[in-house]
């Protein structure tokens, strides 16, 4: 199986093909570099770069620099998404981001891992698994999402959390490791009359 087929697979895998991967990454690194050098008034230029970078791009996606990813073609947007400053997506497997996703500053979304055994790690054995983020998910600042994880629609991941296991829909989950604290209910709605 060729390396592109491995990288874009929805299955967990391990690999020691570092040289091949580095060659493929060059395009995404150059595009991220160009994107991160754009000025705030260059919205059209940013959109053109994102269109070339991502596997599935939607014009309503908004990303604030600086942004970094491994490949780009493995990142798939379903609709509007707001990705705030200093996000890194290690898309060594596909990353699916649902509609109306809010991703706060300094979030790391990492499909990639390494062998636990030191000898294998030295020899370049890597692991990877896909990540799925549902519609209407809010990921708080400095959170880390690890490979193989799915986050259900409508859920909120608290700031600083490390998500190591699946999170169901419609809940608040926080901590390291991230755990469900409670369901999101009607009582969580902000009363418009209370807004100043």
- pLDDT on residue 17: 61
Active site residue 114: yes
The domain limits of the chain are 3-194
CB 115 within 8 A of CB 95: no
Distances (CA, A) of 82 to 10, 30, 77, 170, 193: 24, 22, 11, 19, 27
> Using CA atoms, how far apart are residues 17 and 123, in angstroms rounded to an integer?
10
Residues in the chain: 196
Q: Per the residue annotation, which of 33, 68, 76, 114 is the catalytic one? A: 114
The three-class DSSP label of residue 109 is strand
Q: Which CATH architecture has domain 3-194?
A: 3 Solenoid (2.160)
Tokens of 60: 């309503």
Mean pLDDT in consecutive groups of 10 residues from the start of the chain, 196 residues: 77 71 90 98 97 97 97 97 98 97 98 90 87 98 98 98 98 98 93 79
Global confidence as pTM: 0.93
Tokens of 173: 């989950």
Report the alpha-carbon distance of residue 182 to residue 64 in Å, rounded: 31
Asked if residue 14 lies in contact with residue 126, where contact means CB atoms within 8 angstroms, the answer is: yes
Q: What is the pLDDT of residue 14?
A: 73
Nearest by Cα to 130 from 10, 15, 13: 10
Could you give the CA distance from residue 131 to residue 3 in angstroms, rounded to a whole number? 19
Let me know: does 96 contact 133? Beta carbons within 8 Å: yes
Tokens encoding 122: 């030295």
Q: Which helix (H) or strand (E) holds 36?
A: helix 18-36
């Amino acid at each position: 199986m060729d390396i592109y087929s491995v990288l874009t697979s929805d299955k967990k895998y391990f690999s020691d093909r570092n040289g091949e991967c580095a060659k493929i990454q060059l395009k995404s690194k150059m595009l991220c570099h160009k994107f991160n050098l754009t000025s705030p008034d260059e919205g059209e230029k940013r959109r053109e770069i994102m269109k070339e970078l991502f596997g599935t791009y939607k014009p309503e996606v908004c990303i604030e620099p600086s942004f970094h990813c491994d490949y780009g073609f493995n990142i798939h947007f379903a609709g509007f998404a707001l990705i705030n400053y200093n996000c890194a997506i290690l898309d060594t497997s596909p990353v699916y981001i649902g509609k109306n996703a809010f991703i706060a500053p300094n979030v790391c979304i990492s499909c990639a891992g390494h062998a636990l055994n030191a000898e294998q790690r030295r020899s370049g054995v890597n692991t990877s698994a896909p990540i799925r983020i549902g519609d209407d998910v809010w990921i708080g600042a400095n959170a880390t999402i690890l490979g193989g994880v799915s986050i259900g629609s409508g859920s909120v991941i608290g700031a600083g959390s490390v998500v190591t296991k699946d999170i169901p829909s419609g809940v608040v989950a926080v901590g390291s490791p991230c755990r469900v604290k409670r369901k999101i209910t009607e009582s969580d709605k902000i009363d418009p009359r209370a807004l100043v």
